[in-house]
Structures are given as C-alpha cells and as structure tokens.
Structure 1
Amino acid sequence: MVDDVHGGFLGEVDAGGRPVLGAPKSAILNTRLLWFFSAMATWLHSDEALLLAHRAANYIRSHFLDPDHGGVYWLLDHRGQVIDAKKQAYAQGFAIYAFAEYYRATGDMAWLKIAHQLQRDIEERFWDHEHGGYIEAMSAYWQGVGDQRLSEQDADCPKTMNTHLHILEAYTNLHRAAPDEITHAALSRALNIFIERFIDTDAHRLKLFFDMDWTDRTQATSYGHDIEASWLVWEAVVALRDRELAARVRGLCLNLARAALVDGRNSDGGLGYEKTFDGHLDAAGEWWGQAEGLVGFVNAWQLSGDDDYLAASEALWSHIQEQFIGDGGNEWTWYAANAGRAQRYRAGMWKCPYHNGRAMMELDHRLEDH
C-alpha cells in the first residue's frame, strides 16, 4: 500500500489485492497504520516496520494535522488534498493512540508533544460540560456540525460508545507511554464515563448511541464491541494501577465477556456481528470482531481461570484460519468465506492490520508463558 507517487499510503486495495489508485485517504487508515507499524517495530525489533512507521508519521504530520486550527482532518483525496476537514473525536483519539505508540518506538519527544496536544484538544473541544461525555464531531473551526456519524451505518447521535471506547484506548496508550498527572486524570475521566454510561450492568452489554442528555438510542447488541470493551476497559484499569477500581471493574469486564461467549458465537465458533432488539440476528460477523474475540476471550480466561474462555478463543482461531485467511492471503478477508457475501476491500478506510495485527501481538504476549 505504499504510495510512491503522492506519498504515504494508498487509500484502498480491493478484495483481489489490486490498488485503487484514486481512493481517498482517511485519518483512520493512516493513524491505524502508524500505530501498527510502530508496534511491529517494537515487537519484532524490525527496521523495516520502523521505516514504514516513519513514513506514516511524517505523512500524517504534513497532511492530516491542521496547521491553523489544530486537530486531525477526516479525509484527504488521493493526492493528499483535504476534502473533508471536520474533526471527529474518534479520529483525534486514534491519532493519540498512534503517536503515543510511535513515541514508544522512537523515544522522540516531538511526537509525544503532538499526542499531548491532541489530548488537550479532545478535553477542551469535545467534552460536554453540561451533561458529561465526549461529543462526536466538530467542524474544521471547532464549531458544531449537523451530521455527526462516523459512517452511514451508524445512528446520527452526538454521543456514541464507539468513540468513547477508542478515546479510552488512546488515553490508556498515552498514559502507558508517558504517565503524568494530566494523562492519569484524563484516563480516569474517560474510564469513569464509559463505565457509568455505556455498560448495561443488567443485560451485560454495551449501550451504543445517546442524545446529548444521555437519552439512550441503542437498538442492538454489538458482540464485537462487547468483547473488545471487555479487555480494553481492563487495560485502562491496569494502566491506572488502582486496586480498588480493579476489584470493582473486573466483574463488569467478565460479564461482558460471558455474554459474548454465551450469546454472541455462531455455530462455526465465530463471533456474530449483532442482534437487534426486534430479534434480527446477524450471525456471520466481520474480521474485526473475530480479532477482538481472540483477545477478549483470552483476557477473560486470564482474569477468571475459566477454561471455557480459552476453548472459545481456540475455536475462534480455527474458524479464522479456515474462513478469513483460508485463501492463503497475507491479510484477512472482510467476511467469512461461507458467509455468502461479496467481499469488501482487503484494506482501506476502515480496514488495515489494526484489529487483527494487534490481536496477534496481544496473543503472543499473553500466551508466551503458557
């Protein structure tokens, strides 16, 4: 995906592995690539991965960072010109996540400074001082916008679980990379609002969409997000080193994982996509949910000692090998081979080795002593 003509990386590679030369370049793809190559460079002590991380970091700094108003643009054209300058909180979070990881790989304080500034932007611009929580989107000039959705499949609500989860993930990584009182306070606030507002302690699932005043607009259970949150929330707790908080949150994380274990898996051992409240079940799932399931079930096994979670992860891995990488390719497909759906792009705006690459590194780390 290296773009030798316009710099950075290509915006898309289709389902057959062919570059889509005119595809736009998204902040999500590029920040996730920066995180991945930075993490790979550290994990494998790889000069090749580090060079790709340098490429991603320099392109983001020169093209995605708004030099006049701050923050990260949402979308560029294939030449690197801004075509959507809005500031999604989700994208700012992934930039923090990526630059913190790049700092860990390089030790260069300049990149940590960028991560800190982006965290200040989120805290100052996106936090709702009246009701609490982070709003979804603002204009290039930090004004309100009409349509706040990340994608067409999302509800147009000003507060979402998905954005809060990935702000939490970003703050965790920044606090691990360079902990101080500011990163601790920001991570604590993000974690507390997530626990308070987004975890349904009765149904053991996540609430997904809210109005500004926290009126719940959720219409489905998202199994991939439930299992992803079960381990990302725990990672945040671990980063804060708060034993009292850990004792309180451990059960919440295990309940999310247990619900996904019992209700979320399909007959092939894979993780389903979602179940709407009116009873429609999408049992097939997508690549990212399978990757998060691997880590989430292993994390639950480590927290509980319950071998059912480890068995679920092993069955899920067999399903992935057969259905998502069974063609021998070096990147997972979007859908399982037996899902009966036309495959979407192999890499692009929403897909790169972030979910699955992270899962492989997490499992290597977590299972190396077993």
Structure 2
Amino acid sequence: MSDVTSTPSGGAGPDAEWLDLECRRLLEFGRRVIHPLGGAAWLGEDGSPDLGRPVHTWITSRTVHVYALGALLGVEGCTPIATAALAGLRTTLHDDTHGGWFGAVDADGAPVGTGKSCYDHAFVMLAGSTALTARLPGAEELIGEATQVFQQRFWDQGRGRVLDEWDRAWTAPAPYRGLNAAMHSVEAMLAVGDATGEAVWHDRAGRISEFVVGLATAYDGRLPEHFGPDWTPHLELNRDRPDDPFKPFGATVGHGLEWSRLLLHVEATLGTDAPAGLLEASRLLFDRAVADGWQVDGAPGFVYTTDWDGTPVVRARMHWVAAEGIAAAAALHRRTGEGAFAERYAEWWSYVVEHVRDAARGSWHHELDTTNHPQASVWPGKPDLYHAVQATLLPRLPLAPGLARAVASSAWA
C-alpha cells in the first residue's frame, strides 16, 4: 500500500490528498457515461458505455448526484455530465403521461417493466437535491416534481414508512414492502431537507430510522429486508434465488453497514429531536456485519448475504459493501472517537486498494469471487460510481449536513 499514507486522525489509511486523487480518478473513468438516448449508460469494465443495456433511472440519478458533487468540488468537465444526465431524467426517463419516472427504457426509448418503484424515485430526489445545491439548470424543477410525487405516492404518513412500488398508472400499490427502498429514502430525505430547508424531510427520515432501530434490536443486528403490506417480515423470500441484485434472500451485510452510517447522519441532523437508540443501533449493526460478513471464509472481504443464524449464503464480494464498510467505520470513529473503528477503516481501505480498486482500467471491480478475483455473476461491468465516490468523500466530512451541502460549504475535516 505504498500509495496510501496515514490519516489525520492517526490510524493507518489514506490521507485527504489520496482520497481526493482517488475521487478524481473515479470521476475520470465515467466521462463517457451519457447515453445517446439521454440519461446515463451502464458502464463496462473499461468505462465504455454498454448501449445494449437499458437506460436506468437509478444509474442516471446516481450519475447526476456523483457528477454534481464533482462540480461542487471544482473538477473540470463534471458540470456538463451532470447536466446531461439530469436532462435525461426530465425527458427520456420521465413518464409524461402519468407522471413520475420509469425504472428504465430500452434501446428504442420504450419503458422496461410495468412498475414504478420507490427505490428509483428516492434516487431522483437525491439527484435533484445535489443538483439544486450545485445550481444545475433544471434542478429546481426536478426536485419540485420528485418531492411532490414521492410525498403523494410513496410516503405513508400513518406508518412513517414508504410504499415500495406502484403500477405505471398509479392505480394501486404493490403489496411488497422493502427495507432497501426505505434506506435510500432516508438518504434522499436527508439530502432534500438540506437542499430545500424543509425540515419535514429530516423528520420523515427520523421516523423511518426509529423503525429500523426496533428491527435491529429485535433481530440482533440482522435486518429483515422484505415485508408484507402490514410490514410483517418475510424472512424466506427469494431463498430460491439468493443472489438477486435488489431483493436477495436473508440478511444483506452491506445494508447493515449502510444503515449503521445513516442512523448517525439522522442523529447528527435531528440533534435533540432524534429518536432514541440511534448510536446503539448503529454499533449493533456494524458489529453484526463485521462478525457475520468480514473474512468469515478464510479470505479477506465481506460476503454478500447470510442466513438468519449468520451463516454465509452468497459469498461473492461486492465493491459497494466494502465502500459502505469504509464509510460506516469513518462515521462511527467520528461519532465516538474510538480507535477500533479507525483500525477497521484502515483495514478495509487496504483491502480495497489490494483487491477491489482497478488501477489498470479504472474504477473498482464491482464483484469479486471468494478468492478476490473479478467475476460478474450479479454485477457485470462497472455500472456506476456512486458507492466508490462517496467512500472517498464521507470520511472527510462531518456527519451533518449531508454530502452536497457539506462539500458546497467546504466543511472538510
């Protein structure tokens, strides 16, 4: 790890200069991301756009978010990319008939699938929030519609949670409820509140987080992901296809880490109005993810999922899990000052540099096998930059405000 030096906080790991260079290297990789149809393309191993794949709303939204952050950082060329991706959200991927956003469109621009998902719409809100902070053209209109649609269609005020999916014409919600959509809704709600000054979005993030605190406690840190319409957990869902990229069976190690960090952002944002137990749940989720997922089969890396007793189910190593582990360790170290979290932070950056970071072709390998060699059983290519870029930024910023607002205000550690 000759190109990684000590952190200002004292633990071994990348310093601020290295993190900045890695962020810029990642942004360079994705410069060909804009699809001819509009929106963002799925990227291949070398950063070339895979035009045979659909244009996805979640990838396009993440591209707006990442390159708007690049614009806020002053990285040359990021503003045009973010602006072009944002235009795709307002045209190619937008449902002009019924409102909201398709999940994806095919090579002819026709919608793929029949549903509209909370997951996608949460990312549109995140994109709009970061774009608004970066003062991109069209950002105000985008976030205005995105928040209106989300509030009307996906926010369940009575329960303080989110609906997961509707049909295209918004006639009825699907019965499935999911924690993945809830997680990215919390992320988006924090960003919307930061960008617009509307504190109600922060309050909504707090209500979802309170539910997650209860789940973490009830299930010893292994969060159920799938639920029925009354939020009864469906613990056996997709046991027959455990490596599903969005609805895998069992406990998802990376989501435990991601929630661990998000709960601390909610705590820092809401202050004395935050729900009780956020720090304790954050620790529990982090410790469980490490115990169940890190290096449990003899090789470094996090397994993807486990059964409800902690037995690994899908042992592939996903790049995003390592990125979220880094970010969670940094957040807990910032919150507590405890050296154990700094040690994990350094250990996982060492792993990323040795195994995950692709120094030859750019970006990070999105999926590795159990011996840490690249594979593509779940994630072919290198679809987007969101998790890796955030891993280079979050450790340098406070827990609140969120990424865009903190970068814009130069609130560096």
Q: Tell me the TM-score normalised to structure 1 length.
A: 0.85
The 1-side partners of 2:342 and 2:374 are apart by: 29
The 2-side partners of 1:4 and 1:125 are apart by: 29
Which of the residues 244, 259, 264 maps onto 1:229?
259
Which of the residues 33, 51, 73 maps onto 1:21?
51
Which of the residues 108, 111, 115 maps onto 2:143?
115
Shift in CA distance, 190/111, structure 1 to aligned 2, threshold 3 Å: farther
Q: Which has the higher helix share?
A: 1
**What SS does the corresponding residue of 1:199 show, helix, strand or coil?**
helix
CA deviation map 1:319-346 (0-9, x unaligned): 1111112552211112236345633422
| 1:124 corresponds to 2:152 | yes
Shift in CA distance, 316/185, structure 1 to aligned 2, threshold 3 Å: closer
The alignment's C-alpha RMSD in Å is 2.7
List 4+ stretches of structure 1 deviating above 4 A.
Answer: 128-132, 366-370
The 1-side partners of 2:112 and 2:88 are apart by: 16
Aligned to 1:275: 306
Structure 1 letter corresponding to 2:37: H
CA deviation map 1:222-269 (0-9, x unaligned): 1100011111122123222x2252663111112211222333211444
Conserved 8 A contact 2:33-2:49: no
Conserved 8 A contact 1:36-1:353: yes
The percent of aligned pairs where both chains have the same amino acid is: 20
The 1-side partners of 2:176 and 2:118 are apart by: 11
| 1:164 corresponds to 2:182 | yes
The 1-side partners of 2:83 and 2:374 are apart by: 36
Query: What's the CA shift for 1:285?
Result: 2.1
The 2-side partners of 1:20 and 1:302 are apart by: 39
Shift in CA distance, 193/69, structure 1 to aligned 2, threshold 3 Å: farther
Query: What's the CA shift for 1:358?
Result: 0.9
Relative contact order higher in (CA < 8 Å, ≥ 6 apart): 2
Shift in CA distance, 166/4, structure 1 to aligned 2, threshold 3 Å: closer
Query: What's the CA shift for 1:134?
Result: 1.8
In the alignment, structure 1 segments of 5+ residues that lack a partner are: 149-156
The 1-side partners of 2:146 and 2:51 are apart by: 30
State how 1:1-370 maps to structure 2 within 5 Å: 1-3=32-34, 5-10=36-41, 12-15=42-45, 17-42=47-72, 44-84=73-113, 86-106=115-135, 111-128=139-156, 133-144=161-172, 158-196=176-214, 198-201=215-218, 203-219=220-236, 220-240=250-270, 242-243=271-272, 245=274, 248-266=277-295, 267-277=298-308, 279-336=311-368, 338-339=371-372, 342-343=375-376, 344-348=379-383, 352-365=384-397
The 2-side partners of 1:307 and 1:246 are apart by: 26
The 2-side partners of 1:129 and 1:169 are apart by: 18
Structure 2 letter corresponding to 1:234: L
Shift in CA distance, 92/341, structure 1 to aligned 2, threshold 3 Å: same
Structure 2 letter corresponding to 1:253: S
Query: What's the CA shift for 1:80?
Result: 3.2
Query: What's the CA shift for 1:369?
Result: 7.5
The 1-side partners of 2:343 and 2:141 are apart by: 43
The 1-side partners of 2:266 and 2:107 are apart by: 36
Query: What's the CA shift for 1:273?
Result: 1.3
Shift in CA distance, 102/358, structure 1 to aligned 2, threshold 3 Å: same
In the alignment, structure 2 segments of 5+ residues that lack a partner are: 1-31, 237-249, 400-410
